[in-house]
Structures are given as C-alpha cells and as structure tokens.
Amino acid sequence: MKRLVWLLWAAPLVAGSAPKLPPELQGVAIDQKLNAQIPLDTEFVDQDGAAVRLGSYFERGPVLLALVYFRCPMLCSQILSGVVSGLRPLSLEVGRDFNVVAISFDPQDTPATAREKRDEYARRYSRKASVSGWNFLTGSPESIRAVTEAVGFHYRWDERTKMFVHLSGIMILTPEGKVARYLYGVEYQPKDLKLSLIEASHNKIGSAVDAVLLFCYHYDPTAGKYGAAVMNLLRAAGVLTLCALGGTLALLWRRNLREDRRALERELQT
C-alpha cells in the first residue's frame, strides 16, 4: 500500500535556476496571476448545504483563499493548520476584518466533509469565538475550474494513488475579488499575513514572490524508497544546495584573503 509524503523540494521561482520537473509532476503549478479577477458570481455549496455565491464572502473586506480538498490525507491539513497558526496572533479577526474561504477542488467532497473541516479549524483558531468567517465550500467541476483557472492553481488526479497531486499555497484577495498576493508553503508568518491582509483591504496588489514548491507524491514502504521522480528532484535539490554552499564559502574565502592582504600592506607601510 502506498502512502503520501508532501515535502519534496524547495526552489526559487527564477528562470533557469531549477531543474525541469519530471513527467509525473509536470503541469502541477501555482501561477502568480496578480490582479486577476476571480469569478464572484460562481456558485458553490457551503458547509451547511446552502447554495452560496462566491462574491457574498467579500462584503467584510479581503478574503484568505485556500484551495484544498477535504479528504486529503496530509498536505491540505498542513496548509489549513498553517493558516490557523499564522492568524491566531493577529489583532485582525476572522469574521470581523476578513473571511477565510476554503474551496475543495475535489468534486466528490460533500457539505458533510466541509462542515467537519470547518468546525475543526475554526475551533483551533479560537474555542471562544464563533465559526463566523470560516467558510468551507464544495462545488461542481465547472465552478471549481472557474476559480482554480482564475488564480493559476493547476493540479491533477493521480490514478495510481487515487489522490490529487498539487502544490501548497494560499491567496489573499481584495474586497473587489482580485488576487493581491500569493503565500507559498504550509507555514505562514503572522507578519506576512497581517501585511498582506491590510494591503489587500486597500485594494493594493503585491509583487511576485519566490515559490516554495511542496508536492504530494507517493512513497513505497515495501521497497523502502521514493519513486524515481522524487529521487531525481531530491538529487537536483542537493546539487543546488551544494552549489549555494560552495559559492558562500568562496565569497568568505575571498573576503578573508582581501582582509589579510590589507593587513599585510599596512604592516609593510609601517
């Protein structure tokens, strides 16, 4: 039986700086479509089974958007846990200053699974506060596609593992429904969230950021190893790390050499 692991590789989003993805992972990406308008008229079903219009969640200000699926065994839970941990220290409050909207990109998810996840993460955020502002939505393939394409979220179904292969990240949207900022990974610093939400509340669009690529992929416990694609990525990441360390050591060596040379020149002058 296969089980999933999610942390594979972290690399900057700079052309030519990262090796090409293997076929198994190609097409899985989060494109930064800053200032893109999301379809506010798109209809979904909330955790209570009610039909809702996406635009109704923008009346309180900006929106933190998380694209996940509620039956995901690992990565999506890490994303939502990271959102809760990053939001708890803020003076800004969910439901008062902004909304959290988690949309499942799995059409098989139901309002029941959405409600279970909503209750779990809303209570983690605050056992004293209400669940107001925490919105977990399911929808048709057409509604899901309209949103994921608008924000540049690309994923695929892996028939072998019966799981979705996707990346981790969240989006901050302005009250007008435009993409203001992308935050990658599964841990979100409170200061980054606060700044992003405040900027978005004033309809300010942020700049592109480096991407930390966290994939879902499979591990074979019977063989005790990752798939070939994973190993190639890890090897490539190792080479990049060694190159970075080598470059740092070279810079330090050159700096020390210059300092020694200056000291010798001062001694000769005296």
**Residue spans per domain, the chain:** 3-220, 228-269
Note the pLDDT of residue 204.
Answer: 95
Q: What is the average per-residue pLDDT within 120-131? A: 88
pLDDT exceeds cutoff 80 at 9: no
Q: Which residue has the higher pLDDT, 211 or 122?
A: 122
- In words, the CATH class of domain 3-220 is alpha beta
Taking only the tens place, the pLDDT of each residue in 152-184 is 999 999 888 888 989 889 999 999 999 999 999
Write down the H helix ranges in the chain.
Answer: 75-87, 111-125, 141-151, 190-201, 228-269
In percent, how much of the chain has pLDDT > 90?
56
Note whether 132 and 98 are within 8 A (CB).
no
Confidence of residue 22 (pLDDT cuts 50, 70, 90): low
Q: Examine the pLDDT at 124 and tell me if it is beyond 90.
A: yes
Residue 248 has pLDDT above 80, yes or no: no
